[in-house]
Amino acid sequence: MKINRRRFMQAAGLSAGSLFLPSLLDRSGRARGQGAEPPMRLFIMFAEHGVVHDNWGMRGARPADQGWDYDLNPLTEGEFSPSLRPLYRHRDQLTVIDGLSIATGIGDPYGDGHAKGWCSALTGGIARETFDGVKSNAAKISLDQIVGTHARSVDPTLTNLTTMEFGVFSGDFHAAFYREGPAGQPPQRIPMEQQPQAAFDRLFPNGDGSQPPDPVSVAQPDVLSSVATMYDRLSARASTEDRQKLEAHRDLVRDMEAGLRRLAALDCGPPTISDYYWGEVPHVERWQAHTSSFLDLTAVAFSCGISRVTSMLWGDMPPTLCGGVGDLYELHHAYAHPSDPNNGDVAARTAAQAVMTQYTANYAGYAAALADRLAAIPEGNGSVLDNTIILWVSDISHGGHGHDRWPMVLLGGKNKLRTGRYINAPHDTLTTTSASWVDDNERIGLPHNHVLVAVAQAMGVPTDTIGDASVAPKKPGAPAIDLRGPLPGLLR
């Protein structure tokens, strides 16, 4: 096809919104055709401050230091812990993992206790630096980006909405999500989109999505395809610098082409919500409304094939939402830290633990609410929830900044995971701390990297490593601790 200047400019001048349209895929998220297997999706929840284990765990009289698991399905709702009770109705899709450690966080020399967990929980690696006294930055990219990059490598029709990152009063003091930096540069923090309306506009740039594409827009992908081919021909004659520019532009054009081809089969609309709350968080009513809106947007992005991974990061929750008093900024020091199981002030600890128990239950409720949405969307022989893993993590184990006996919850994904189980990880790994007062022979839980690997493999990523491949124990002469491979028995 010969492209005149006007058609070229029309193609190259397409609005950025051309990238942000639902899939040409069927409801399974794959190319239209017989027998397509639905794609896996991943929703990551990051909520800080850990848990009150006595009100989160469900070990009963079973040994804390041994590895074992049991079936959650026979339990009554009253037998579920207060913090996890909102998930009871989804217990057949629930996987609770107790007794893990963030071994890389325990061995991390950078940042404060929070920073160590923020940097390692989703990257699986020791951080790379300390700055501003207590902060740090990760040395590895996070799980969401690994999964998203793989998804795009096997499905070239996916766009730069393959991964989306949402935040509710998430701030930027610490960071949990990291993407590849420019060539030769370390991973970069990913900013979280905190306005649901802005996220809505990215997903549905033309408003409600009800209007069919116009003929000119339908023709544009073919023009863009020819433009990209023309770039390939020009590249062979260009200088190295110009070739890099052409290749970057060619890749952008191909991304635009993919987005437009998705428009051709638009069969999904935005969620039916009237107001996406422009107002600023942390007002209590907006905290809840923003959370609900982001969950709605996640459900439609998954079911329409727009995104494969969405991540959500919450900052401190208003204490009034979990039985406390005071403004949002008081939760951290008025409740989270006093809930430390080693706090000698029994009255203060008891009061704080009541608030933090409800705090965790609120997040369990958010996970259950998203599961409700996904379970209601038919897909294949089941629902979108069957092909979605909701991964819920924190930066620390409890209010005392620890990273041992670290809690982890997975919900959904029963087509890839063995769900409906409570798993206790063995507590027989040599400690990785450098603290002088800790005995060399102290033991910590199984490193959480093995769960990250399992999730990545469930999402189709061909890897046995997320983050660091090993970490050194404190004990001199002891072999390195292997962080490779999935948690045994988690995958189907």
What contacts 24+ positions apart, CB below 8 Å, involve 12-15? 12/227, 12/253, 14/220, 14/224, 14/256, 14/260, 15/205
Tell me how far the alpha carbon of residue 388 is from its chain's centroid.
Answer: 12
Query: 91 and 75 in contact (C-beta within 8 Å)?
Result: yes
CA distance 364 to 291: 13
Which whole-number Å values give the CA distances from 64 to 113, 224, 353, 386, 481, in the listed order? Answer: 24, 59, 21, 30, 21
Domain boundaries, the chain: 1-27+213-265, 38-209+277-482
For residue 450, give the nearest of 405, 473, 484, 408 by alpha carbon.
484
Query: 137 and 131 in contact (C-beta within 8 Å)?
Result: yes
What CATH fold (topology level) applies to the domain 38-209+277-482?
Answer: Alkaline Phosphatase, subunit A (3.40.720)
Segment (H or E) for 205 = none
CB atoms near residue 371 (< 10 Å): 25
Which whole-number Å values give the CA distances from 443 to 170, 388, 393, 447, in the listed order? Answer: 33, 34, 22, 11
DSSP 447-480: BTHHHHHHHHHHTT---S-SS-SEE--SSTTPPP
CA distance 217 to 222: 10
Judge if pTM exceeds 0.85.
no
CA distance 488 to 492: 10
Tell me how far the alpha carbon of residue 383 is from its chain's centroid.
Answer: 20
CA distance 303 to 377: 7
Percent helix, strand, coil in the chain, to 5, is 40, 15, 45
238: DSSP letter: S
35: DSSP letter: T
Q: What is the pLDDT along the chain (492 residues), one digit of tens a residue?
A: 333 333 323 333 322 222 222 232 343 344 334 457 899 999 999 999 999 999 999 999 999 999 999 999 999 999 999 999 999 999 999 999 999 999 999 999 999 989 999 999 999 999 999 888 888 999 999 999 999 999 999 998 898 999 999 999 888 889 999 999 999 999 999 999 988 878 888 887 765 544 443 433 444 444 445 555 555 666 666 666 556 655 655 555 455 455 445 444 445 666 655 445 545 555 777 888 889 889 988 988 898 888 999 999 998 899 999 999 987 778 999 999 999 999 999 999 999 999 999 999 999 999 999 999 999 888 888 999 999 999 999 999 999 999 999 999 999 999 999 999 999 999 999 999 999 999 999 999 999 999 999 999 999 999 999 999 999 999 999 999 999 999 999 999
CB atoms near residue 384 (< 10 Å): 24
